[in-house]
Amino acid sequence: MPQQLSQLVFVYGSLKRGFALHALLQGQLCLGNAVTEPWYRLFDLGSYPGLVEWPDGLEIRGEVYQVDFECLGRLDEAEGVVDRLYVRRQISLQAEFRNRDVHAWFWLNAVKGLRDCGSEWP
């Protein structure tokens, strides 16, 4: 079986075009805008959002990139995966990305008292 050389990722916050961490995606392929299934919520964590699964979820808007594994490592580091701030796992998207293996970073900490961002951050 051939080794997977890239991963599709859904970004919804500071990694999007025009935001603070977008430079980490330099040289990676942007596949376009995307919308999740209505199973998630975004909460305002200050200078970035946190995505969580939510019983009364919304369709979250973001962008999908095809990234190589070197970039994926940089993104995991920036998202604090080792520090257990976020976990990267599969997310359900609509339209052309439906049923594709796309990952996103999910916030692992409490959201009580945080502002709900609606379907898009900021």
Active site residues: 79
d(CA 5, CA 9): 13
DSSP letters, 36-80, are: B-S-EEEEE-SSSEEEEE-TT-B--EEEEEEEEHHHHHHHHHHTT
Residues sharing a CB contact under 8 Å with residue 35, sequence separation 6 or more, in sequence order: 59, 60, 61, 62, 93, 94, 95
Instruction: Assess contact for 66 and 29: CB atoms under 8 A.
Output: yes
Cα 116 from chain centroid (whole Å): 16
